[in-house]
Amino acid sequence: RGPNYPPGPRSLPVFGNLLDLDSANPWLTYCRWGKQFGDILSFKIFTRRIVVINSYSIAVDLLDKRSSIYSDRPNLMMLDLMGWGFSVAFMRYADSRRRKYRRSMHTGLGPPNAAAMQQTLLQRSDTLVRQLLDSSEGFQSHLVNYAAASIMHHTFGFTDWNKYKYLVHDVTLKAINALSESVFFGAQAVFAFPILQMGSLGVVNHLPEWLPGAGFKRIAREQRALTSRLQEEPMEIVKKQMATGIHSSSWVSDLFEERDSSPPGALTEDNIKELAANVFTGGFDTANVIWHLINRVVGQQRLPDFGDREALPYLSAICREALRWHPPIPLAGHCVSETDEYMGYEIPAGTPVMANIWAMTRDASMFKDPDRFYPERFIKEDGSLDESSSDFVWGFSRRTCPGRTFAELTMWIAVARILAVYNIHKAIDSHGREIPVKEEYADRGLFV
Ligand code: HEM
């Protein structure tokens, strides 16, 4: 008898449970298994065992309380080959850059830098509201552009969207889409490619490109070209602008100035480049949340700004509910770095552990009538906002989202201003009936 792993479905000899998975919505398969096997379960992709956590309380027990061993990520050679080695999201826990970058992101994108972020977002949301008036059909692309332009503005100081939008559409989004389409057909898919687990670069490099299944070499080459552009090009522009003294101050220009004054531990130029690329590639899911706005109108004489945030808890509740109802990252994949025991089960070192955030959002004991979009659930009896009950949508403990404050501000001001100016209602079909809003994932972000 093998070790006492968490229970799970029977698996086939070669594929394991690969064929059982709904590859577009694996969290739904995990929910189904959860009903059968409990809130902690395990299954196999080929020979690789994966643990899934379906409940918030178990996620807290393991990912929070034992975070020193549950904050790793799997070793994915393929990502390095594709040039994604800069990404904090994929970095191993012990990587010395990880803590440095997270600390710096907290300074640049967290509460300490709220005033600068708010300044940027007021300008960008103003543009968004105007663009929606010019052409409301392009609603979704306006939102993507708003999220991207805000990040570009804050990070690099690029205010002229038309001039720099190629960096988003021709470089960054292409890199993200290619990664999620060609390699990630579901977060667990990375575990499905045994080749991704291969610890040896040498082997990958020696496979001829024409070999069936070796198409990843071509993908990797194309990806490397894009990931290198997305790291180099904006940085070169900022450096040139700084050299000629015409730059607008930005997070990156501040980091360069800090580096030049050389305090101990300052980031190197390579660090700054990688850090900026993290932010640039991290922010796009924000747009999807705003997209899921539902019909509620706030009457205002003027456009709301950040000073109104305290006084408008219902707006914050709408943002919270949008994130709960449709979490942009439905699965957070951690990896356990030491063998652990939980509830009598063994979880061997190196096992990927998936937190099924989507399942937690549908837990009726935490959220009554969980499929209903109902912002009021976040308003307490005294009218104030319930601040914490859905924080898990930002992930867990040492790997929680470092872009949270930036994303929350980006969403809040866009939602506030759109609702202040426009009536939003459900689309109407040809018979004049409302088309219900479906909770579904149209495209796949990096983690989905
Ligand atoms: C609505 C918007 C967003 C949501 C819901 C979200 C949610 C998440 C979640 C669930 C994780 C995984 C946490 C875990 O593994 O436990 C994550 C990681 C991450 N997010 Fe976000 N995020 C959003 C926007 C952003 C933005 C705007 C940025 C950057 C500007 C960003 C940068 C990152 C990075 C770098 C990581 C990896 C952290 C690590 O592995 O240590 N995210 N995010």
Is a pLDDT exceeding 60 seen at residue 188? no
- Atom of ligand 1 minimally distant from the CA of 334: 15
107 within a domain of the structure (yes/no)? yes
Is a pLDDT exceeding 70 seen at residue 36? yes
CA of 360 to the centre of ligand 1 (A): 17
Do the bridges between strand 48-53 and strand 352-356 make them parallel or antiparallel, or are there none, so unpaired?
A: parallel
Q: Report the residue count for the chain.
A: 448
Q: Which amino acid is at 185?
A: F
- For a pocket test of ligand 1, which of 156, 401, 411, 412 has the largest count of ligand atoms closer than 8 A to its C-beta? 401
The answer to whether residues 372 and 437 touch, using CB atoms and an 8 Å cutoff, is no
What is residue 215's predicted lDDT score, i.e. its pLDDT? 62
264 burial via Cβ count (<10 Å: 0-12, 13-18, 19+): exposed
Tokens of 251: 């997070």
**Rounded to an integer, what distance in angstroms lies between the CA atom of residue 89 and that of residue 56?**
21
> What DSSP character marks residue 434?
B
For the chain, helix (H) and strand (E) counts, in that order, are: 18, 6
Q: What is the CATH number of the domain that holds 52?
A: 1.10.630.10
**Model confidence pLDDT, tens digit, residues 359-384:** 999 999 999 999 999 999 999 988 88
8 within a domain of the structure (yes/no)? no
The answer to whether residues 357 and 396 touch, using CB atoms and an 8 Å cutoff, is no
Q: Identify the residue whose C-alpha is closest to ligand 1 atom 43.
A: 401
The answer to whether residues 323 and 424 touch, using CB atoms and an 8 Å cutoff, is no
**Ligand 1 pocket residues where CB is under 6 Å:** 88-89, 102, 109, 151, 278-279, 282-283, 285-286, 289, 323, 328-329, 332, 334, 393-396, 399-403, 406-407
Q: What element of type H or E holds 226?
A: helix 216-244
What sign does the CA torsion over 171, 177, 180, 181 have? negative
What confidence category does residue 209 fall into, taking pLDDT thresholds of 50, 70 and 90? low
65 within a domain of the structure (yes/no)? yes
Q: What element of type H or E holds 331?
A: strand 331-335
Across the chain, which distance is largest between two alpha carbons, in Å? Answer: 71
127 within a domain of the structure (yes/no)? yes
Q: Identify the residue whose C-alpha is closest to ligand 1 atom 17.
A: 401
What confidence category does residue 286 fall into, taking pLDDT thresholds of 50, 70 and 90? low
Query: 87 is in which domain, residue-wise?
Result: 18-421
Residue positions forming the annotated binding site for heme: 401
118 burial via Cβ count (<10 Å: 0-12, 13-18, 19+): middle
Is a pLDDT exceeding 60 seen at residue 189? no
What is residue 213's predicted lDDT score, i.e. its pLDDT? 54
pTM beyond 0.80, yes or no: yes
Tokens of 365: 């004991």
Is a pLDDT exceeding 50 seen at residue 447? no
Q: Can you name the residues that pair with 428 across neighbouring β-strands?
A: 434
268: Cβ contacts below 8 Å, ≥ 6 apart? 259
- Atom of ligand 1 minimally distant from the CA of 73: 40
The answer to whether residues 284 and 147 touch, using CB atoms and an 8 Å cutoff, is yes
Average pLDDT, the chain: 83
Pure H helices in 292-433: 313-325, 357-361, 404-421
Give the rounded percent of residues in the chain with a pLDDT score beyond 70: 84
Is a pLDDT exceeding 60 seen at residue 214? no
The answer to whether residues 363 and 102 touch, using CB atoms and an 8 Å cutoff, is no
Q: Identify the residue whose C-alpha is closest to ligand 1 atom 40.
A: 89
CA of 332 to the centre of ligand 1 (A): 10
Q: Which amino acid is at 191?
A: F
What sign does the CA torsion over 148, 154, 160, 164 have? negative
402 within a domain of the structure (yes/no)? yes
Give ipTM to 2 decimals. Answer: 0.93
154 within a domain of the structure (yes/no)? yes
Is a pLDDT exceeding 90 seen at residue 153? yes
Domains held by the chain: number? 1
What is residue 251's predicted lDDT score, i.e. its pLDDT? 92
- Atom of ligand 1 minimally distant from the CA of 329: 10
CA of 227 to the centre of ligand 1 (A): 19
Pure H helices in 295-366: 313-325, 357-361
CA of 21 to the centre of ligand 1 (A): 25
Of the candidates 187, 169, 150, 264, the residue with the CA atom closest to the CA atom of residue 226: 169
What is residue 142's predicted lDDT score, i.e. its pLDDT? 85
Q: Identify the residue whose C-alpha is closest to ligand 1 atom 7.
A: 394
**Scanning the structure block, which residue is given the tokens 């894009």?**
226
SS3 365: coil
3-state DSSP percent of the chain in helix, strand and coil, to 5: 55, 10, 40
Is a pLDDT exceeding 60 seen at residue 446? no
Of the candidates 221, 189, 224, 216, the residue with the CA atom closest to the CA atom of residue 74: 189
CA of 71 to the centre of ligand 1 (A): 14
CA of 395 to the centre of ligand 1 (A): 8
Residue of 327 and 193 predicted with greater confidence? 327
The answer to whether residues 334 and 353 touch, using CB atoms and an 8 Å cutoff, is yes
Q: Measure the N-to-C terminal CA separation of the chain; round to a whole number of Å.
A: 34
CA of 393 to the centre of ligand 1 (A): 9
What is residue 73's predicted lDDT score, i.e. its pLDDT? 87
What sign does the CA torsion over 119, 165, 108, 247 have? negative
Pure H helices in 336-403: 357-361
417 within a domain of the structure (yes/no)? yes
**Model confidence pLDDT, tens digit, residues 46-81:** 778 899 999 999 999 999 999 999 999 877 767 787
55 within a domain of the structure (yes/no)? yes
Q: Identify the residue whose C-alpha is closest to ligand 1 atom 16.
A: 395
What is residue 325's predicted lDDT score, i.e. its pLDDT? 94
Task: Give mean pLDDT, residues 141-157.
Answer: 90
